[in-house]
Structure formats: structure tokens, C-alpha cells
Amino acid sequence: MTSGPASTSGPASVAADPTWAALPGGAFGMRAPIASLRQSKILEVWQMGFTVPDVIGLWVGEGDLPTPPFICRPAIQALEGGETFYTQKHGLPELRQALTDYHADIYGVQVAPDRFTVTSAGMSAAMLAMQMFTGAGDNIIGVTPVWPNALAAAEVMGAQVREVALDPLPTGWALDLERIFARCDARTRAVYLASPGNPTGWVMPSAQQRALLEFCRRRGLWLIADEVYGRIVYQGRAAPSFLEVAAPDDPLIVINSFSKAWAMTGWRLGWMIHPQALADTLGNLIEYNTSGAQPFLQRGAVAALREGEPFVALMVERCRAARDLVLQRLGGMKKVEVTRAEAAFYLMFRVKGVTDTLAFAKMLVTQARVGLAPGVAFGAGGEAHLRLCHACGTERVSLAMDRLQPFLD
């Protein structure tokens, strides 16, 4: 057999392409954005706690309450009843109808069931959005400080993230919309923001929502609105939603999750609201990513929406009591400057003299036995801060404050 011409698709050509990266041992074949992924700095601190006895973990975004029985029971019954097969990619019809009814009740908006897609976690919804709208050579605007995973999803797709930082003011966090407008160029595909924000608790006012949505319409940009913390608010029943100012065919994706308000973090179940025209595309992407969310979990989600308002109210009041306690205690510590939050269950604060929040957070794990998230994990504007999650009982928070005081006073 005679050999043909040399292949142009082997290791030599891959090595010359900057979009690909070397694998261990000198092999090639991994895309550079994937090879360059780094472990979250939140996780870096969190993992330390596995070896520290009696640590009080206030580092990750979940509370200390288990999922309530009224949500668990329908899921268990469905599992025992044999609902263990593939199901509709966009979600069970009963769940999409429950989502329609929920949004009509909470926000006073009518969203047709065919505009909902149930996802395997809110993070899965963020990844699906980035898969639809971003790729190599594109960029997105991200309002920071923010939970890093959603913006990392754009980087996984090869897109550049351009950060626009919130300002920490004495009255709370604030956004200058002009900074967003100025950062957009011909390669910008989307604007991503979370309101209420994680880690800031910032809430975008309705007037700014209208202005940003109108800008995205004019520029042909997608607006990806993360509203996962929309029910964890300390004034009113819910934070302002982009759904209240948008038309059904606007270039808007709203991401949400069952994790926070209903204490369902481990369930990994969320939803997207999108123009109906995207339904087929999202159905295909769901097929290629997960083939759909588990039907027995969706039965529990229906119960959360239909019966969960008393529990949501309990969750909010619990977070409020813990927030007020933390504000009182931190406010009395000499080295601390804390920025008040309007919503969510986090507080961001600075410690005078601390410039390396990752190292400081690691020290607190081992010496104070309290786990906080380093602000550097959340992008521009967060570097000098630490994040404390107060989604727990006041007794636990009070003990954490006792342990932190010698290091912050």
C-alpha cells in the first residue's frame, strides 16, 4: 500500500492553531478555552472546610433547611410510581402550566406555556443561552460582581467577557448603564446580568430595565436576565422582573431556578422563559445536552409552585432576621465596611488592610473556623470584598460572628 499525502488535520496543524491547547503528555486536541478553565475560587475555599472540624460554612449559596416534605412527597410518589422514563424535552405540561400560573400570580404577566423550557438547573439554562448566542470571536457584557459560573459558560464557548462593575455606595450597590452601552461593539452578542444579584443583593430598578431592554432592541443584542433570587426580597413580594416591561417576542431570556426560594439546591432544576420562536432550537439543544429534566423531580417542582408560598415567606423572614443580625454585628467591628443588600441572602463587606481576599478567606477557615467566599471570585468590583451567605438561622450566624470578631475588630 502506498501512502497518500500528509494529513493536515493531525497534531502538527493543531499545535499551530491558538484555539487548541496541549494535553498532558504532549498530545493535542483540547480547545484552549476548555484547557484554560480554572477551579472556582469559591470552591477552592469550600474544599478546605472538608478537613476542618466544626467549621461554619457561609461560603456557598444555599441555606441550612432541607427541601420541605410537601415538595418531596410528590417526587417520591412519582419515582415509586414508575415515572423514571424520558419525558418531553421542554418539561412536563403540568409543570409548564404551573409556571404560567405562578408568573401570572407573582408578576401579573401572562406567559404562554410554550415559552417555558424546564432545564437541569439554572446553570444549565445559562449554558444553553450561551450555546445559542456566543462563540469564538464574540463578546458578551457581564455586570459584576457576579456568580462566576454563568460568565464562564460564555468563555467555554470561546467568547470574551467584558465586565461592567457595580459601584458600592453607602446606600447599596448601583449600576451606571452608560458603562454597558460604551462597552458594546460590533462583536457584542448579549448582555448578562443578575437581579437580584449574587453576591451583591443589588436589584435593578424598573426604569433601568426598560432602558437596557430598549438598547438591546435597537442594537440587536440578546438580554440574558438571571432572576434566580427574584423572591428573596425584603420589600414587596418579588423583585422587578424584565417580564413586566418586555413583549413576548423581545430579545430576552429570563433564567430562574427552584434552588433558592424553595430550598431545592440539590435537585438541579430550573427554567427559562424565551420567545416562542426559540422553542424548537432549545428543544434540540436540550436533546443534545441532557435529553430533559427528570420527570419525578418535576412533580416536586409543581408542588413547589402550587403550594409553596408559605414556605417562601418563611425563607425570606429567616434570611431577613439573619441579615439584620449580621449587619448589626459587622457594623460594630472596627475593620469592617459593609454594603447593605436589598435582596438575595448575601452581604459583601471589606476588611481594612486586606488586599488578598482569597488568602484571607483561607486563613479564616483554619483559624476562625468560618467559611466565607473571597470577593476576587466574583469579578470586577468584588476583589476587595468577602461574601457571607446568611441563609441560615440566627443562632448559627451569631456563633459565626463570635468567631470572626477577633479577626475583624
Give the per-residue pLDDT at 6: 39
Give the per-residue pLDDT at 243: 98
* Average pLDDT rounded to a whole number, residues 208-232: 98
Give the per-residue pLDDT at 51: 86
Give the per-residue pLDDT at 56: 96
Contact indicator for 351, 386 with CB cutoff of 8 Å: yes
Residues whose CB is less than 8 angstroms from the CB of residue 167 and which lie 6 or more positions away in sequence, other chains included: 173, 174, 175, 176, 381
pLDDT band at 18 (very low <50, low <70, confident <90, very high): low
Kindly report the backbone phi and psi dihedral angles of residue 194, in degrees, each rounded to the nearest multiple of 5, phi listed first.
-115, 125
pLDDT in tens, 150-160: 999 999 999 99
Residues in the chain: 409
Give the per-residue pLDDT at 35: 83
Q: Which helix (H) or strand (E) holds 41?
A: helix 41-48
Kindly list the domain boundaries of the chain, sorted by start residue.
41-61+310-408, 69-307
**pLDDT, averaged across the chain:** 93
Residue type at 120 in one-letter notation: S
Q: Which of the listed CATH numbers 3.40.50.150, 3.40.640.10, 3.40.50.2300, 3.20.10.10 matches domain 69-307?
A: 3.40.640.10
* Rounded (10°) CA dihedral 372, 377, 381, 382: 10
pLDDT in tens, 259-293: 999 999 999 999 999 999 999 999 999 999 999 99
| Cell numbers linked to 88 | 418531553
Give the per-residue pLDDT at 4: 41
In b/e form, how buried is each residue of 178-194, taking b as 16+ CB within 10 angstroms? eebeebbeeebbbbbbb
**CA distances to 7, 53, 284, 364, 402 from 406, in Å:** 65, 19, 55, 11, 8
pLDDT in tens, 41-57: 898 999 888 889 999 99
Give the per-residue pLDDT at 19: 60
CATH topology of domain 41-61+310-408: Aspartate Aminotransferase, domain 1 (3.90.1150)
* Rounded (10°) CA dihedral 377, 379, 382, 386: -10
* Average pLDDT rounded to a whole number, residues 366-373: 97
* Residue 37 in this model has a pLDDT that exceeds 90: no
**CA distances to 80, 182, 287, 300 from 92, in Å:** 18, 42, 15, 12
The strand pairing partners of 389, in sequence order, are 346
**Residue whose C-alpha is closest to residue 402's, from 60, 56, 42:** 56
Give the per-residue pLDDT at 259: 98
**Residue whose C-alpha is closest to residue 54's, from 405, 407, 403, 326:** 403
At residue 208, the 3 state secondary structure works out as: helix
**Residue whose C-alpha is closest to residue 194's, from 242, 228, 152:** 228
* Residue 69 in this model has a pLDDT that exceeds 50: yes
pTM value is 0.92
Q: What is the three-state SS of 252-311?
A: EEEEEECCCCCCCHHHCCEEEECCHHHHHHHHHHHHHHCCCCCHHHHHHHHHHHHHCHHH
pLDDT in tens, 125-173: 999 999 999 999 999 999 999 999 999 999 999 999 999 999 998 889 9
Contact indicator for 194, 257 with CB cutoff of 8 Å: no
Question: In 54-138, where do the E strands start and end?
Answer: 56-57, 116-119
pLDDT in tens, 312-340: 999 999 999 999 999 999 999 999 999 98
